[in-house]
Every structure is written in C-alpha cells, then in structure tokens.
Structure 1
C-alpha cells in the first residue's frame, strides 16, 4: 500500500517537473497572426506573451481602424496560443495521470 502511494507521489513530482519544463518551452513557441490584409502582424509566445507588433504606416492614419485591427488580430493570436498551450499541458498531465477509468475523457 505504501509502495503504491510512494510511487504515485514520485509520479506526481515527475509530472510537476514536466509541466514546468513544458511551460518554459512554450516561451520559445512563437505564434504569428496577421490582419486579413496583412497591415498588422502580431507575434506572441504559446504562453500568450506578446513579443512584437508590426503596424503598416497606412494604419497609423486611422486610429479607429488600427484599434479594430489590434483587437481582432490580438484575439485571434491569443486564441491560437491558448490552443497550443492547453494541448501541450493536457498531454503532459494525461501522461502523468494514473490509469483511472473515466479520467481519460477529461484530457481530450
């Protein structure tokens, strides 16, 4: 009984270390998103940290259009980054979970 508990505790610690390493690796995965006409480009990490914003000079003439482009493009980039982030962490979490019937459906 105690061997099982100790084994599970070891597996939990190993999974926690893998999650931490995965989060660090997600800082190196870059997500690029462009506006539909290519006048705005956003780059962020899979941890959803903005790395760069490139704005075409023509957008600087229209404040409202620039604001709209920023909102739309940032939201699309964040959505993509979140999908990558969640998929990567779910894979690590699933790998570290004990085989409990019915639990596998939580990580799909």
Structure 2
C-alpha cells in the first residue's frame, strides 16, 4: 500500500511538471483573429496574452466602430484561445490521473 502511495505521489509530481511545461508551450501558440472586413487584426497566445493589435487607419476616424471591432475581435480570439488552453491542459491532467473507476465522469 505504501508503495502505491509513493507511486501515485511520483505520478502527481510528474503530472504537475507536464502541466507547467504545457502552460509554457501555450505561450508560443498564437491565435490570429480579424474583423470580418480585415480592418482590425489581433494576435494572442493560447494563454490569452495579447501580442499585437493592428488597426487600419480608416477605423481611427470612427471611435464607436473601432471600439465595437475591438470587443468583437478580441472576444473571438479569447474564446479560441480558451478552448485550446482548456483542451491541452485537460489532456495533460487526464493522462496523469491514476486509473480510478468512475473518475472519467469528473473530467468531462
């Protein structure tokens, strides 16, 4: 029993390291998103850090349209980044979990 406990603790530490490595890797995964007409472009990491925003000069003349575009485009990019982030981290966590009957229900 004690050996099983030590094995599980080792597996937990290994999983924590893999999660940390995955988080670091997700800093290099870039999601590019743009407004439907291409006048606004944003790039963010899968960890939801904004890397760049490109605004076409024509949008600078219409503050309300620029604000709307920023909200819509950033939200779309954040949604995609969140999906990637959650899927990647869930896969690492699930891989590191001990095989306990019924545990799959909690990971869905």
TM (norm. structure 1) is 0.97
Offset from partner CA, 1:2-52 (integer Å, 9 cap, x none): 000000000000000000000000000000000011100000000000000
Q: Distance in 1 between matches of 2:22 and 2:43?
A: 20
- Runs (4+) of structure 1 exceeding 2 A deviation are 105-108
Using the TM superposition, give the Cα deviation of residue 100 of structure 1 relative to its aligned residue in structure 2, in angstroms: 1.2
Q: Is the 8 A contact 1:91 1:107 kept in 2?
A: no
Q: Distance in 2 between matches of 1:105 and 1:33?
A: 34
Structure 1 spans left out of the alignment, 5+ residues? none
**Which residue in 1 is equivalent to 2:54?**
54
**Which residue in 1 is equivalent to 2:102?**
102
Q: Please, what is the CA RMSD of the aligned residues?
A: 0.8
Partner SS, residue 101 of structure 1: coil
Q: How many residues align?
A: 108
Structure 2 spans left out of the alignment, 5+ residues? none
Using the TM superposition, give the Cα deviation of residue 103 of structure 1 relative to its aligned residue in structure 2, in angstroms: 1.5
Q: Distance in 1 between matches of 2:77 and 2:100?
A: 35
Q: Is 1:44 the equivalent of 2:44? A: yes
